[in-house]
Amino acid sequence: MEQFKHVGVTGRHGRSEVADTLRRLVTFLESRDVTIVLDSRITDMIPNHCHPICVRDALGEHCDLVIVVGGDGSLLGAARALVDFGIPVIGVNHGRLGFLTDICPSELETLLSEVLDGQYLEENRFLLEVEVERNGQIIDEGCALNDVVLHPGRSTRIIEFELFIDGQFVYKQRSDGIIIATPTGSTAYALSGGGPIMHPALDAIVLVPMFPHMLTNRPLVISGNSEVRLVICEVDHIDPQISCDGQIHLLGHPNDSITIRKKARQLKSLHPEHHDFYDACRSKLRWNHQEHCR
């Protein structure tokens, strides 16, 4: 396993408990004699430091590992910014669920010592890229680790759109929108919409209708290599939004075509050696905590 010598540090800005953990993390990394590079947005939370600073989007140019302190939202933002650099990311959880940031602050020094010594699990997580096409021109684009969502924005009206998968017409739907999620995102918004939980190792995409007019429109799991295209129908008199991880919002218009496909570069996600997806499900989703039979 790779041992890391240049470590980037980023996290959620503005929370006192995050600041405390960031300071502990920097002190720990200093004791490990690694080069520390700080995200410029968090430097005011770590006073009197003497480490190099750069914007988050450039951490991948200077580091061989990035540690994110915050919730899953913080890691989602870091993932989109760093995926093209091919460097691994690991999270220290200061959020609610923490499916992606799975190191507890109380175990920070112990578990990160193991990671820096090369004792960790590595997973490749794919992202989705989205393009919005209008009158034959790409007018906006984005990417998402969890999900791409077509929704009405501030309007309370339903959307009518057509769905194509790999060029084949699937259906025309009237609904509040649709969630297109990766296995990583299957435990996020898609789960609350009634979608299935997918193991992170699956090469699949799930499409979850949001309050469809026809109750026979159910979640649909397709190949991870499929290309999904949504066409907003002309009858709509609203400008729906296309959200990436709930953090990037693209504006659509009637007759726009929205194409979603797997991004070529994948995210390297690190976990402690004892990480277990099903254990995470039990603890985060409050599944039965009783001991198993054998």
Euclidean distance between CA atoms 63 and 56, whole angstroms: 11
Task: Point out which residues pair with 10 in neighbouring strands.
Answer: 68
CA angle 190, 255, 217 (to 5 degrees): 35
**CA nearest neighbour of 90 among 77, 103, 73:** 103
CB contact at 8 A, 100 and 125: no
In a 10 Å sphere around its CB, with 0-12 CB exposed, 13-18 middle and 19+ buried, how is residue 182 labelled?
buried
The pair of structure tokens assigned to 160 is 């009518």
The pair of structure tokens assigned to 116 is 């820096």
Sign of CA dihedral 43, 245, 195, 199: negative
Euclidean distance between CA atoms 112 and 34, whole angstroms: 12
Euclidean distance between CA atoms 119 and 66, whole angstroms: 16
What is the DSSP-derived secondary structure letter of residue 132? E
Q: Which of 72, 236, 245, 256 is catalytic?
A: 72
Distances in Å between the Cα of 121 and the Cα atoms of 64, 269, 286 are 16, 8, 24
In a 10 Å sphere around its CB, with 0-12 CB exposed, 13-18 middle and 19+ buried, how is residue 41 labelled?
middle
Sheet of 177-181: strand order equals: 220-223, 204-210, 177-181, 147-151, 241-244, 248-251
The reply to whether 44 belongs to the active site is no
Active-site residue list? 72
